[in-house]
Amino acid sequence: MQTRRRDVSDAVWRRCICGLVLVLSTTLVSRSGLTRADEIKAGVYVRADSDRTVVVTPSAGARASIVDDRTQVEVGYAADIWTSASIDIRTAASARVTEQRDELTVGVQREFVDVSLGVDYRFSHEPDYVSHGGGINFEQKFAEGNATFRTRLFAAQDTVGRAGDNSFSRRLSTVGLRAVFNQVIDAKTVIQGAYELGRREGFQSSPYRFVGIGGDGLCSGTAVLCVPEAHPGTRLRHVGVIRARRAIGSDFSAGLAYRFYFDDWNVLSHTAIAQASWLPAPDSTVELRYRFYHQSAADFYRARYEAIDTNRPLVSRDRELSPLLTNRLSLSYERVVDLTAAGPPLRLSAATSAMLLSYSDFVGLDKVWAFDVILSGAVEL
**CATH code where residue 293 lies:** 2.40.170.20
**Cβ(302)–Cβ(322) below 8 Å:** no
* pLDDT surpasses 90 at 331: yes
**Cβ(322)–Cβ(297) below 8 Å:** yes
Instruction: Residue 163: count other Cβ atoms within 10 Å of its Cβ.
Output: 19
The whole-number average pLDDT for the span 168-185 is 97
- Residue 293 within any structural domain of the chain: yes
- Residue 277 within any structural domain of the chain: yes
- Residue 306 within any structural domain of the chain: yes
- Between CA 26 and CA 47 the distance in angstroms is 30
Phi, psi of 105 (to 5 degrees): -125, 140
- Residue 296 within any structural domain of the chain: yes
- Whole-angstrom CA distances from 204 to 59, 199, 230, 282 are 27, 12, 8, 48
Q: Which of 34-38, 78-82, 290-294 holds the top average pLDDT?
A: 290-294
Tell me, what's the pLDDT at 143? Answer: 86
- Residue 206 within any structural domain of the chain: yes
* Structural domain for 142, as ranges: 104-380
- Residue 61 within any structural domain of the chain: no
- Residue 292 within any structural domain of the chain: yes
Total number of domains constituting the chain: 1
pLDDT in tens, 4-45: 444 444 554 555 555 555 545 555 555 445 555 688 999 999
Tell me, what's the pLDDT at 145? Answer: 84
- Residue 322 within any structural domain of the chain: yes
Rounded to two decimals, the pTM is 0.88
